[in-house]
Amino acid sequence: MFMQNEAIEWGSRSIGAANRSRLQCGHLLVELSRGADEICLASKRLSDEEIKDGIPADAPVKWTNWTVCTGSHDVQVLPGLPDLPVLARQDPVFEVAPGGGAKVFVRIPVTVLVQVSDRGGEILAEFPTEALPKVKFGEAEKVEPCFLLADSPSPVPLPGLDGATVQAPILIRNDSREVLSVTQICLRVGHLSIYRFGKSLWASETLVRYQGGESPSRISVKSGAPSEAVGATLIAGPREGSPATIVGRTFRSFRQWTRGAAHCF
């Protein structure tokens, strides 16, 4: 007998009626089970064969992550973004002329957040749908750990993405007097909200103003859903709030300038 995996429906969920349920998001399987005044959570990544054939309900499952929460039976299951900035390598490389602009779209794997419905929305567990490698980016004395994305930014919106992916638009403005060669983009996702548009997930649009030379970029997050998803529903707010403007290196790290290189790696 096979236990049916449910596609994740984002939002509030009461598990008082069922002792056990399995929610699937892409290759991620999350199990919620109810005990005596507690909620048990576990996750594992499914192989292609397991997605095709399923997992028997009575088969032992080697869970890779689990947690227990006491005193609650109601949770919220929400989409989230990684807890670090993401770095996308640009291929093919493109240029933005002084005073010009360009727009790209990055694909970011969803992190499944399970929160307590009360107690101020305490996060019980975070389950990334994909395991992303960590890389370093930034100045020698201010190196930022980032997650490296598998795909390059796209110049057009990506059609047909499933619910395990968030699409994040980035608008680039070159406010400098030099040509900007875009070989990589560091996106600080902590300030982005997530919107649902049909079956797709969208992040807030980020505006990055390149200042040239060794100067960090000026970064702001536009309010509301991006223009490609007008009328989308807000389903998850940002991790870190949304300041009006922040500064941070986005295209080039200081290390490349000290070496005399014109482009970042």
Domain regions of the chain by residue span:
6-78, 81-110+130-258
Q: Distance between CA atoms of 97 and 101, rounded to whole angstroms?
A: 7
Tens of pLDDT, residues 85-117:
999 999 999 999 999 999 999 999 999 998 877
CA dist., res. 63 & res. 209, Å (int): 44
Q: What one-letter code names the amino acid at 107?
A: R
Phi-psi region of 37 (alpha: psi -120 to 50; beta: other; left: phi over 0): left
- pLDDT (average), residues 124-134: 91
Handedness of CA 121, 124, 130, 132 (dihedral sign): positive
Give the residue from 89, 79, 84 showing the smallest Cα distance to 149: 89
Q: What is the Cα Rg of the chain in Å? A: 20
Tokens of 154: 């796209």
pLDDT at 260: 36
251 touches 135 (CB < 8 A) = no
Number of H helices and E strands in the chain, helices first, is 2, 21
Query: For 13-23, what is the mean pLDDT?
Result: 68
Element (DSSP H or E) covering residue 143: strand 142-148
Whole-number percent of the chain with pLDDT over 90: 45
Bridge-based pairing of strands 38-45 and 28-35 is antiparallel
